[in-house]
Amino acid sequence: MEINAVIGVNKPKGFTSFDVVAKLRKILKTKKIGHAGTLDPLATGVLPILVGKATKLCDLICDNYKEYVADFKLGVLTDTLDITGKVLLTSSVSVSKLDIKNALQKYLGEFYQTVPMYSAVKVNGQKLYNLARKGQEVERPKKLVKISKLELKNYDPQANEGRIIVGCSKGTYIRSLIDDLGKDLGCYATMINLCRIKSCGINLTETVTLDELEKAVNEGKFENILLNMDYFLKEYREYNLSLHEKEKFSHGAILPIADSKFKDQELLRVYYSGQFLGLAKVDLGNQKLKIVKLLIS
C-alpha cells in the first residue's frame, strides 16, 4: 500500500531527527520519508513526518509557530548550553520566582538572537558544532526571532530549577534563551529538558510514539494515525476546480483564473470534489493559475 500522508511522531530522548526517519523507513517499508523542524537528541515531542508524495511539501509547510516546555537550572554554564554539555562554570544563585518572571518579559516580541556554537548553522562552509568540538569559537550570525508566549510555570528555589513554556517562531533556540535569562539574572543557566508540544499545527496530544506506530502497522490499524497531505497547509486559501479543470490541472495545464478575491502570486490549495490535488500560484497579470506542486492524494 502506497502511503502519502503526514504523521505526528513523539520523538524520544536520545534520538536525532534522522534516527527517527531511519526507523520509520523500516517500519513503513518506504524510502520516501522526511521531517519538518529538526529536534536535538536531548529534546522530545512533536516531530512532523512527511511520507510519500507529502515529502514534496517540505519547503512550503506553514511551520513558523512552535511551542515548547523547557526545564532549566540556574547557577550552571555548559559548553552546549544544555545539560548534555561539559560544565564550564558555576555560580551562586539568589533570585526569586518574581525576579524570573520579570526578566522573561524582556524576550516577548521580536529580537535578534545569536546562534549558539553547538548548532548546525554553517559559517564559512563549516557547521558550527564541528568547530565547537574542536574548541574553536567564531563570530556567529544573529537571527531575527519572535516569542509570542513566555510563561514561568514553576520554580524551585532550593534546587534552582524551573520550567517555562515558550511559543516562538521557527529558528528560535530555547537553550540560548535560557542562557540569556541566566545572564540577566546575574548567574548562569542551562537547559535540562526540552519538549516540543506544538509544531506545524500538530499538538503533542495528536502524536504517536515509534512503538505505537510500529504496533499499529503490524496490526494493520495505522490509517487513523495518518494525517492528510494538506494538514500543514491550512494558512493557504482553498480553490476548487470543476471536473474539466481538474483533468487539465492533473496534466500540468495552466488554468485561467478570473476571481478577484485572490492576490497576485498568492499560493492556493487546489481541490476537486474534496480531493487535494496540489498547490498553485495566482498570476493576476495574466489571469492564470500556475501549478507549484502537483500531488494528487
Measure the CA angle with vertex 187, ends 45 and 185; round to 5°. 80
Answer for the pair 39, 45: CB distance below 8 angstroms, yes or no: yes
Average pLDDT over the chain, rounded to whole? 91
Taking only the tens place, the pLDDT of each residue in 100-151 is 999 999 999 999 998 876 777 777 777 767 766 877 777 787 899 999 999 9
CATH number reported for the structural domain that contains residue 205 in this entry: 3.30.2350.10
Q: Reduced to 3 states, what is the DSSP secondary structure of residue 288?
A: strand
Confidence (pLDDT) at 132? 66
Helices (H), the chain: 17-28, 97-104, 128-133, 174-184, 210-218, 243-250
Find the mean pLDDT for residues 87-109: 96
pLDDT classification of 25: cutoffs 50, 70, 90? very high
Share of residues in the chain with pLDDT > 90 (%): 68
Looking at the fold, whether 132 and 84 belong to one and the same domain comes out as yes
DSSP, res 82: B
- Given 178, 199, 220, which residue is the final one in a domain? 199
Give the three cell numbers for residue 225.
494515525
Looking at the fold, whether 73 and 194 belong to one and the same domain comes out as yes
Looking at the fold, whether 163 and 212 belong to one and the same domain comes out as no
Is residue 201 pLDDT above 70, yes or no? yes
Confidence (pLDDT) at 117? 67
- Given 187, 209, 231, which residue is the final one in a domain? 231
Looking at the fold, whether 84 and 165 belong to one and the same domain comes out as yes
Looking at the fold, whether 78 and 175 belong to one and the same domain comes out as yes
Is residue 161 pLDDT above 70, yes or no? yes
Is residue 60 pLDDT above 70, yes or no? yes
Confidence (pLDDT) at 14? 95
pLDDT classification of 86: cutoffs 50, 70, 90? very high
Looking at the fold, whether 86 and 208 belong to one and the same domain comes out as no
CATH number reported for the structural domain that contains residue 277 in this entry: 2.30.130.10
Residues catalogued as catalytic: 40
| Residue 93 domain boundaries | 65-199
pLDDT classification of 57: cutoffs 50, 70, 90? confident
Is residue 275 pLDDT above 80, yes or no? yes
Confidence (pLDDT) at 297? 63
Confidence (pLDDT) at 131? 64
Looking at the fold, whether 219 and 260 belong to one and the same domain comes out as no
Confidence (pLDDT) at 234? 84
pLDDT classification of 168: cutoffs 50, 70, 90? very high
Angle between helices 174-184 and 97-104 (to 10 degrees): 120
Confidence (pLDDT) at 63? 66
Looking at the fold, whether 69 and 195 belong to one and the same domain comes out as yes
Find the mean pLDDT for residues 12-25: 95
Nearest to 232 by CA among 66, 22, 43, 23: 66
Looking at the fold, whether 119 and 194 belong to one and the same domain comes out as yes
Looking at the fold, whether 90 and 211 belong to one and the same domain comes out as no
Looking at the fold, whether 53 and 87 belong to one and the same domain comes out as no
Confidence (pLDDT) at 92? 95
Looking at the fold, whether 157 and 244 belong to one and the same domain comes out as no
Taking only the tens place, the pLDDT of each residue in 235-254 is 899 999 999 999 999 998 99
Between 212 and 230, where is the model more confident? 212
Total of domains in the chain: 3
DSSP 165-194: EEEEETT--HHHHHHHHHHHTTS-EEEEEE
Answer for the pair 110, 217: CB distance below 8 angstroms, yes or no: no
